[in-house]
Structure 1
Amino acid sequence: MSGVFSMFLAYVYLPPAVSMTILAISWCLFVPFDFLRQKYPALNDWVLHAFKPIMRQSEARNLAGTTYLLSGVLLVDILFPRPVVALTLLFLAFADPIASYFGILYGKDKIFGHKSIQGFMAAFFVCTALTLIYLLAHNYLTDRLIVVSLLAGLVGAFAELIPIGKLDDNLTLPLMSAVGISILFYFFGFFAIVG
């Protein structure tokens, strides 16, 4: 949560060229190294030992979630306008971990695999609140604030819920959220206002 929120802060407060450069350098340093550790068992053993407290069991023999996260955020940053990217980063920072937390604690009603209605509802509320706060803070779409926020909440919740093949949700959530938010903003005339 704090890592992605730091990415959001850097994205919002640093000049676009600087935030993009930092993201690209981070990707270039981390992702090839993650692929290399999959190829060389000795390197992978060292990484597992050094980062054992923060690595998931599933990452021991697979790519780390950070690889998917950096790739998803980099693609979104390249392909979408700044307000969409900023909101997508907020969804990724807060909705994904909070949905997971509520799904683990209270997720009795499963929908897809380990995804639950309770996790979906948590993601919906978080994404709705984040959109509301973001739009209010920038004085965007104030005449349609509630409707746009609720629909963006659904976009974020479905992006967190729906699995796309075997792809990691650190990749699919930002991409699906950015596409959905872009369509929503286009429909409500957002880009004509901020153009």
Structure 2
Amino acid sequence: MRETEYAGWNGVIWYLLGAWIVLRFFPKDIGVMGILLLSWCDTAASTVGRAYGRYTPRIRQGKSLAGSLAAFAVGVVTAAVFWGWLAPRTGPFLDDLDWPFMFSGDLMLPAGIRDLIGLSEAQSIVSGGLALGVMSVWTGFTAAASEVVDIFGWDDNLTIPVLSGFGMWGFLKIFR
């Protein structure tokens, strides 16, 4: 237990609240990824940051470049494994009323940008490994960014899944 948790709420409460928010308000794949990013990226950032953070620039109090790079790398790998291997093999489920996954393996430029640069709809779609790579890199970025940001001093067990969820959801709303 952290010293700050003696007089306040335990990190488990924030974890449960963050998990509930992303699973309740986002599509299934975004919610699950939000929880996975908290589990893996926060652990990687803490472990690598404590071990190597003194050798890299500090981003803000208690956050180092080494920890953020670890969160980014682990976020990329987590997204690639989840959307490239796990999600296609486990869903949708029989009780799903609609398609539960927001990322379906394709990304498309928005119509305004597509028209501005003169591409047809077919030319503006990336799919397969390239789309998975782009989505994985973006997911790693949102994980690292949500791990670094401090919103009103809230616990990162709440902010990492929620901010990562918003980041992935917003990206897919634009490029889906």
| TM-score, normalised relative to structure 1 | 0.66
**1:98 CA drift (Å):** 1.0
Q: In the alignment, what sits opposite 1:65?
A: 11
Amino acid at match of 2:171: L
| Contact 1:112-1:163 within 8 A present in 2 as well | no
- Cα distance in 2 for partners of 1:187, 1:149 equals 16
Which runs of no fewer than 5 residues in structure 2 stay unpaired? Answer: 89-103, 106-127
Q: In the alignment, what sits opposite 2:121?
A: none
Q: In the alignment, what sits opposite 2:81?
A: 133
| Contact 1:84-1:181 within 8 A present in 2 as well | yes
- Cα distance in 2 for partners of 1:77, 1:153 equals 19
**1:117 CA drift (Å):** 0.5
CA RMSD of aligned residues (A): 1.2
- Cα distance in 2 for partners of 1:149, 1:184 equals 12
Q: Which has the higher contact order (CA 8 A, sep 6+)?
A: 2
- Cα distance in 1 for partners of 2:38, 2:131 equals 24
- Cα distance in 2 for partners of 1:78, 1:135 equals 20
- Cα distance in 1 for partners of 2:152, 2:65 equals 20
Structure with the larger helix share: 1
2:148 alignment partner, one of 161, 180, 187: 161
- Cα distance in 2 for partners of 1:74, 1:146 equals 28
**1:100 CA drift (Å):** 0.7
Are 2:23 and 1:77 aligned? yes
- Cα distance in 1 for partners of 2:132, 2:24 equals 27
Q: In the alignment, what sits opposite 1:33?
A: none
- Cα distance in 2 for partners of 1:114, 1:126 equals 19
How many residues matched? 135
**1:80 CA drift (Å):** 0.7
1:127-156 deviations in Å (ceiling 9; x for gaps): 000111111113441241111111111011
- Cα distance in 2 for partners of 1:96, 1:188 equals 27
Are 2:69 and 1:121 aligned? yes
Q: Which secondary structure state, in structure 2, belongs to the residue aligned with residue 61 of structure 1? A: coil
| Contact 1:95-1:123 within 8 A present in 2 as well | yes
Q: In the alignment, what sits opposite 1:42?
A: none
Which runs of no fewer than 5 residues in structure 1 stay unpaired? Answer: 1-54, 190-195
- Cα distance in 1 for partners of 2:44, 2:172 equals 25
1:66-115 deviations in Å (ceiling 9; x for gaps): 11111111111111110101111110111001101111111122111110
| TM-score, normalised relative to structure 2 | 0.73
**1:56 CA drift (Å):** 2.3
- Cα distance in 1 for partners of 2:155, 2:2 equals 13
Aligned counterparts, 1:17-56, within 5 A:
55-56=1-2
| Contact 2:23-2:32 within 8 A present in 1 as well | no
Identical counterparts, % of pairs: 30
Q: In the alignment, what sits opposite 2:109?
A: none
